[in-house]
Structure 1
Amino acid sequence: VIFLIIGFTYKFESTPGDIELVLEAISSKFNVSPWLMLVPAFLVIIIIKKVPPLPALLAGSLIGGVFAIIFQPHLIREVALGLDESTTSFFKSSYLSVMQSIFGDVAITTPNEMVNELLSSTGMRGMLNTIWLILSAMVFGGTMESAGLLVKITSVVIRWAQSTGSLVTTTIATSIFFNITASDQYIAIVVPGRMFADSYKKRGLKPEVLSRTLEDGGTITSVLVPWNTCGATQSRVLGVPTMEYVPFAFFNILSPLFSILFAYLNYKIRRYGDDEQDEEKTMTDEDRRDI
């Protein structure tokens, strides 16, 4: 709804003529065909089938490369000649171009500068700096967790959780704190989950309440922190600095606030019934493992 309002009220600098120039630049360089929609359709099917990430990424890259070879042979030759001017074999050109587009720099030139910038890519090599940051953040966060520093720092906040609303607020604040200090989404979810699990159980709150709160506080807000593993990745993939897209991340900003509001209003807060709570208390560790 917010984006719909912005779309109807915001005055854009571009004109219909600019859009036509972009479309002409794309058409002059690419063979645009409805058959190309099979690639995103294939990716949607992969998502629906819940294919594991690595096979999904591999399959997406391969089918994208195959369609590029079939529908954009002139670009395949252009990229290959930029790498090796002596290349004459189309098979070799296809291999060089697809591999280069996956891991290296690729720049396709059109009459439109904006389109040129859009079509420029650095592949996996361009992600290396982000990967180093992610690895460093994971090591730093893991060290702090293993040393018990994170729990020590935040254990005092558990005392503030005197009601359901304050408990949810404290959980979200702790997750955001870990996203900022530990720089890793995983830690921002797991550590608060361990810390507050007993508190939620004592208040008769079902596990899904804690799970939803951790999602709202840990998962969603991680992309708002520039040095967090998620924020760094999104910024690199989108090509937009984190602090520039933050003002437009309405869902990421509002979701934790609504979660806190609903907790204080006791709205959609699932609790154990008396029978369920008694059953939970008498359940053995072996029973939980079986579940």
Structure 2
Amino acid sequence: MQKNNAPNLAIPSLGLALIPIILTIALLGVQIFYYDDFTPHIALAIGFAITALVGWSQGYRWKDIESGAFHVLHVAMPSIATLIVVGMLVSTWIASGTVPMLIYYGLELIDPSWFLAASMLLCSVVSLSIGSSWTTVGTVGLALIGIGSAFGVPIYWSAGAVVSGAFFGDKISPLSDTTNLAAAVTETNVFDHIRNMMPTTIPAMVIAFVIYLIVGGQTATDTAQLAQISQFKEGLSTHFDLGVLPLIPLIVVMALAFFKVSPIPALFTGFILGAIVAAVNYDYNLNQVLTFAHSGFKINTDTASLDSLLNRGGVSSMTWVITLMMFALAFGGALERTRCLESVVRSILRLTKGFRGLQTSAILTSVATNVVSGDVYLSIALPGRMYGPEYSKHGYSRLNLSRAIEEGGTLVSPLIPWNAGGAFVMGTLGLTVVSGDYSALLYIPLAFACWLSPVIGIIYAQTGWFSKKSDEEIMKTQPSSENSAQSQSLKGNI
């Protein structure tokens, strides 16, 4: 989290700090639910302006507020660049036959009755192995969306299963940046942090798996049309090479991710390899490949539903998502620089009594920071830094805090459409919202594993289950035999 350049300025009062937050949320609500228009960009820009006015009333200069916004945007530039590269990669992987091949063999191997459950498990394994939810969604997840479409599964169900698996694998992977960040800001060991997340991880995954298994079977019985599956397979086999060559880009990207190569060079390598395979297999010239990378892949297979699935990708497909992220992050950066977020968190801390309230507040603060700031890293860093000393005061381990901010941060980020995670999911998987039709947003409640985990975490906080005491508190209440021996020796010496 950034340092404030105006440390002598007072933190705004709670009432003043809430003004830009409440007005922006109200404006978003009016635009989305009253005017039926899901374009929150300008509402967030107005929220930034209101925050700037609040900061100005507190003595902040425009340069202070501007630098706060630009700082967060600078930190988020790797995520924005990743979105751009993913748009390029998606188009060339379709053109090369990589995605069509995965869809084809997925239709061959996966039974519709357990498609949703299999999707969640597959994305979990891939994300756990490579430590990247975004790479998982942009590669394996994209193919699973196509398979689900052929099975007649609504896209929001498929997306819910993909998101559940991808972000849960990311959460418990020692290779994940957010997992390491949560451990770092709470000053805990990353492997202890991962082990301490199991009490919420396992129940949430089991419940989600059972739901997907049941619903998957019902969906297959009701909607999967053999004729459509046959049309998909015929269209894919006719227009694409389904041999070994299209597998090369996928294998290389997964290997690079496993060996912790940064996402941007790893995904860009995948884009280049996809472009080479497309040129070799289908004689596309350089201009066609560059056009695909910018404007998306285009093909006519004489099957409208298959065309709508394959005609996508390109940098231009990500512009709506990227601009949304930039507006949201600038708003969040202004709130942080003017110390509005700090004021809200401090007010919550003053009202918090005991461990139950502390743990619940930490989870909900991470969720709220995700909603307001649009930045998953801020939703982990802010409460992680501010709540830490309170856990020590109450005699509880900071592992409880690291679990709370991971659940409210990492897992909730894909469920907020203007958050970096949510914007990426919607842009990559083609979850578009049109006037009067918000069905694409149904993936949010259907990503069961993502929201079940913080709910289970709050239940544990209220019951005291799986709430680890600090090492100091354990030694005070239950001294080990070694500590007892040392105590007796000390008394003898005295």
Query: TM-score surpassing 0.5?
Result: yes
How far did residue 275 of structure 1 move? 8.7
The equivalent residue for 2:217 is 8
Match of 2:302, SS state, is coil
* Partner deviation per Cα, 1:146-179 (whole Å, 9 max, x = no partner): 1011111232222343233321211111111112
Q: CA-to-partner distance for each residue in 1:103-134, whole Å, 9 max, x for gaps?
A: 22321110111111111124112212211111
- Percent identity between matched residues is 29
- Alignment partner for residue 451 of structure 2, among 253, 260, 265? 253
Q: Describe how 1:167-206 pairs up with structure 2 within 5 A.
A: 167-206=358-397
Which of 203, 206, 209 aligns to 2:400? It is 209
Alpha-carbon distance in 1 for matches of 2:356, 2:256 = 39
User: Amino acid of the residue matched to residue 425 of structure 2?
Assistant: Q
Q: CA deviation at 1:276?
A: 9.0
Equivalent position of 1:273 in the other structure: 471
Distance 1:276 1:62, change over 3 A: farther
- How many Å apart are 1:180 and its aligned residue? 1.8
How far apart are the structure 2 equivalents of 1:146 and 1:262? Answer: 34
Residue identity matched to 2:423 = A
Change in CA separation of 1:121 and 1:244 when aligned onto 2, cut-off 3 Å: same
Helix, strand or coil at the partner of 1:181: helix
Structure 1 length normalisation: TM-score?
Answer: 0.81
Query: 1:221 and 1:275 mapped to 2: Cα distance?
Result: 32
Q: Among 349, 357, 365, which residue is 1:158 paired with?
A: 349
CA distance in 2, matches of 1:209, 1:47: 29
Q: Deviations over 1:63-94 (max 9, x none)?
A: 11122223333xx2xxxxxxxxxxxxxxxx1x
Matched with 2:462 is 264
CA RMSD, 1 decimal = 2.2
- Greater relative contact order (Cα 8 A, min sep 6): structure 1 or 2? 2
The 5 A counterparts of 1:55-204 are: 55-73=265-283, 76=284, 93=285, 95-204=286-395
Pair 25,197 (structure 1): closer, same or farther in 2 beyond 3 Å? same
Q: What does the per-residue CA deviation read over 1:183-204, in whole Å, with 9 as the maximum and x for residues that have no partner?
A: 2222222211122111122233
CA contact under 8 A between 2:363 and 2:408: conserved in structure 1? yes
User: SS at the partner of 1:210?
Assistant: helix
| 2:441 paired residue among 243, 265, 288 | 243
Tell me: CA distance 1:38–1:167, structure 2 relative to 1, closer, same or farther (3 Å). Answer: same
Partner of 2:54: none
**Count of residues in Structure 1 that have an aligned counterpart in Structure 2:** 259
Distance in 2 of aligned mates of 1:99 and 1:267: 56
TM-score, length of structure 2 as denominator length? 0.49
Distance in 1 (CA, whole Å) between partners of 2:278 and 2:460 is 49
Contact 2:249 2:273 in 1 (8 A): yes
Q: Deviations over 1:215-272 (max 9, x none)?
A: 1012211221222232222111111146221131001110101122233343443333
Give ranges in structure 1 of 5+ residues lacking alignment: 77-92, 279-291
1:17 corresponds to which residue? 227
> Residues 13 and 153 (structure 1 numbering): CA distance in 2 closer, same or farther, change over 3 Å?
same
Give 3-state SS (helix, strand or coil) of 1:226's partner: coil
Q: Aligned partners of 1:41, 1:277: CA distance in 2, in Å?
A: 50
Residue 18 of structure 1: how far off its partner (Å): 1.1
Alpha-carbon separation, structure 2, partners of 1:148 and 1:8: 50
- Equivalent pair of 1:204/1:277 in contact (CA under 8 Å): no
